[in-house]
Chain A
Amino acid sequence: MSIQGRRGIRVALPYLLPSLLGALLFAILPIIISLLLSVTNWSGMSRVRLTDGFLKFVAEHFVGLENSKAILSDGEFWRALSHNLYFIILYLPLMLALSMTAALIINAPNRGANVYRVVYYLPVLTSWVAGSLIWKWLLSPVYGPINNALAIIGIEGPLWLQSEVWAMPSIVLASIWKDMGFYAMILLGGLKSINTEYYEAARIDGASKPQMFARITLPLLSSVLFYVSMLSMINAFQLFPQVMVMTKEGNAGPNGATMVMVERIYKYAFRYGKMGYAAAYSWILFVIIMAFTYIQKRGERRWVNYDV
């Protein structure tokens, strides 16, 4: 078929339709509604009808940009944001290193690689409801195996989730456990698509394994690494289920140590009766994520190698 036959919105539309309709009803429309709610002081605890006077309802509860102003001038917001950033700083390098290692292990032409592939993916398949139970036990100060193991080598383990200092690192540990396999699979996809001729050539030139990794694998994988770090960054800003199930819901961890942005959004929407405020909060987070993605994308040119 010629290019002509594959041109124009009329040809594309039937293919796009299911997705577009889904997007319209279950993403765009809710997004528009949340945008409208973000300029109201609605509590989220009273009857609302979309088809009957919704705009009038918005007008009655209209507060303009009050919500956003209040959020940005509240120290709590900056504290939650800093916790998100702290999480990212701890999580991202460790996660990249470990999932890269895991991907290399699975990719090695070795017996056992198949087994490792299943094993590494196990945590990814678990829900956070189950995962959190496991980690609460692992990290339990008295009964938990981690502190018991530490005691054997003479270290008194911390209180982990109950300690202000260790609560966030605990969340990071559990998150890496859960996510490693997923990102390893994406990196594996990258490794598999590297043309083996490069390695053949390098071997003939007498390059060592580490040299090959640094000169061939990493540069060729840079765009995949870029996507992985972008994806994990977006997810890290939306960090929530593990925080909700692992730390005491009421206080967002010991002295608010695991108070993060989506946790705040959930609280304001479903616990504090401030739906409008929560909606505005989400939009601020959206802008932050967009900004970080943009910065990353700009940086992409500098470190991603597209032409080896």
Chain B
Amino acid sequence: MKTTRNILSLALFLILVLLPAFSAGTKEAAQGTVTLKLEQFSGSEATLSGEALRGMIAEFEKQNPTIKVELQTIGYDDYFTQLQSKVVGGNAADVFELNYENFVAYASEGALADVTGKLGDTSGFNKTALDAFNYQGVQYGVPNSFSNVVLFYNKALFDQANLAYPTSDWTWKDVEVASKKIMSLEKNIWGFYRPLSFHEFYKGAAQNGGSLMNAERTAFTVNLPQNIEAASLMAGWQNDSKIMPTDADMAGMGDWDLFKSGRLGMLVTGIWAFGDFTANCPFDWDIAIEPGNVQKATHFFSNSYVVSETSKHPAEAAKLAVFLAGSKEATKLRVEASWELPPVTYPEIIDSYLSITPPENREAVFASLDYLVTPPVSIQQAEMQAIIQSYLGQIVSGKMSAKAALDACQKELEAKISL
């Protein structure tokens, strides 16, 4: 009995006392300097953006010799899994990146520090972008970049079909007419690509005068008549007018690949395609503001820097966040690397951005900002999107009518998602 007890207590001793000693002790920073941890999913190591990011950090450290920044970039797929366990364990980085879709959840859970008043002068920031990271009247983050979606078109195909290029006045009807002409050129060419996904649908609904939530964001309005009409029109591009390839037609090819192969007339996608298309399209292409239906509406995507609630140096962290997001030096580096859009407009930097071609009509990027609509957002963002997405899939596959699907969707959202 005694031996057993001895072994037991020895083992317990080992586990409780020795093991923690093995683990790495926290590094003590040198006297007077503060070390900040910075984590993000954008700007990965091997890319131009990564280089720009390292440049921004170097500049910040130069201006703030008492602050050292430790950067860690993690791939998007793994980032949020890791972030979650870090937040739970109180080990989140001082400053970390959040996209708009995940921001509300972390803000509402109290994981973020209030940065109101710590950001200095924010009058230069795009207001839509800045307000997006305000939760219940408290500023929790600062937008570091944003991005939107435009209509890309293959000039060569338009010329071949003797068509006028898309203008900012185009509507869905014009798209359909042009698409049919382009498709008559040759087999295996399609007119248009814009799948009925959550992101395209919330925007499509707005373009048709509807919305998925009421203005106060207190109730879902998914089955408004305008939304039903928008959904069935959008699904119709694939199923009725057939101007858009189905998954079977695409046979595993991505939409960008299809466009680059010269077999797609028009594509609605993000401006982050500029680099790829410039390098890999063997034909002329340009962009226009995305066509609406009864009104115009364009996409809003944004990432932000937030400060962890557990950060020991919140003031310095906020300083780093706002420097990376909006300082002139950082903005210059961001624009030079074509890393989405800066949230702050410095005229001379923007001018240099506009002078890069293709696309020739780069102004359309900024013109689109006049029609920004933010996506519906809730604490249960990912789940909400998945629910909406699953019903949109039913419409596209023809299993449910747009009305039946959106009625059911509205019901399920009301039951599962709290606003």
Contact = CB atoms under 8 A, between A and B. Distances in A.
Interface of A: 10, 13-14, 17-18, 21, 25, 43-49, 140-143, 159, 162-164, 249-251, 254-256, 267-268, 270-274
A273 B251 contact: no
Nearest to A9: B4
Given A45-B88, A270-B81, 8 more contacts: A14-B7, A17-B8, A47-B87, A47-B90, A159-B248, A164-B397, A255-B394, A273-B382
B55 interface: no
B393 A46 contact: no
Contact of A45 (B4, B11, B87): B87
A273 B103 CA distance: 12
B257 to A, nearest CB: 11
A40 B89 CA distance: 18
Interface string B396-411: 0101000000000000
Nearest to A140: B252
A141 B81 contact: no
Nearest to A49: B90
Given A251-B393, A273-B105, A142 B253 contact: yes
Nearest to A270: B81
What are the 8 closest A-B residue pairs judged by CB atoms, nearest first?
Answer: A272-B383, A141-B251, A46-B109, A255-B393, A45-B109, A142-B251, A141-B252, A271-B382
- Majority secondary structure of chain B interface residues (helix, strand, loop or mixed): helix
A181 to B, nearest CB: 29
Contacts of B111: 45-47
A76 to B, nearest CB: 9
Contact of B7 (A17, A43, A44, A49): A17
25 contacts: A13-B7, A13-B8, A14-B7, A18-B11, A43-B109, A45-B111, A46-B111, A47-B89, A47-B111, A159-B251, A159-B252, A162-B247, A164-B397, A250-B389, A251-B389, A254-B247, A254-B393, A255-B390, A255-B397, A255-B399, A256-B393, A267-B383, A271-B382, A272-B383, A273-B383
Contacts of A159: 247-248, 251-252
Contacts of A13: 4, 7-8
B146 to A, nearest CB: 22
Contacts of B278: none
Contacts of B84: 44-45, 270
B7 A46 contact: no
Contacts of A255: 390, 393-394, 397, 399
- Majority secondary structure of chain A interface residues (helix, strand, loop or mixed): loop
Interface string B279-303: 0000000000000000000000000
A273 B247 contact: no
A10 B6 CA distance: 12
Interface residues of B, number: 39
B1 A10 contact: yes
Contacts, number: 94
Contacts of A142: 251-253
Contacts of B1: 10
Contacts of A250: 386, 389
Contact of B310 (A43, A47, A268, A273): A47
A12 B211 CA distance: 68
B275 interface: no
A257 B251 CA distance: 18
B110 interface: yes
A158 to B, nearest CB: 9
B386 A45 contact: no
Interface string B69-101: 000000001001100100111100000000000
B390 A256 contact: yes
A138 B88 CA distance: 40
Contacts of B380: 272-274
Contacts of B89: 47
A137 to B, nearest CB: 10
Contacts of B248: 159
